[in-house]
Amino acid sequence: MMKKLLYVLLVIEITLTVAAFFMLLPASLFAAIFLSGLNALSLVPIIAIIHNINTIDDLEYDLSKLRYKVKELYDIVNKDAPEGERASEVYKGRAMGNWKCVKCGTVNKEGSSRCESCQAAYTPEYNPTDDPNKRKKVSRWIKYK
């Protein structure tokens, strides 16, 4: 709905810019070109917003595809697991590994659902489950595969 309104606004702005050009043309060519250029600059934010809305729509579509793939992977992992030990049941709302709070930066323990320091809730979309303290040492003498 918002995108349609922005397209309507864009058409109105373009129409007004062209009309203003032809109305000012008999008076002064310089004034017509100058004011048309200024009106054209007002189109830039509208076009940028439309572009960003399209990008957000694409990202939402990609996110829904990724969530579907994660659900498929959970189903594959849980297929042979006994009742009560399935990954989705054991770790529902809890971290599957050490995680760093995005709010305060505290490293929290595996299985926690809230930050020990600021009590922010754990969400798998924003908090990585990898241990941030375990970093591979980089050496210029050893090549890692």
Within 10 Å of residue 21's Cβ, how many Cβ atoms?
A: 17
- pLDDT tens digit string along 69-119? 888 887 777 676 666 555 545 455 666 677 778 778 788 887 787 888 888
- pLDDT tens digit string along 67-83? 888 888 877 776 766 66
According to the model, what pLDDT value does residue 45 have?
92
DSSP 5-57: HHHHHHHHHHHHHHHHHHHHTTT-HHHHHHHHHHHHHTHHHHHHHHHHHHHHH
Confidence of residue 13 (pLDDT cuts 50, 70, 90): very high
What the block records as the tokens of 17 is: 């810019």
pTM score, whole prediction:
0.47
Within 10 Å of residue 122's Cβ, how many Cβ atoms?
A: 19
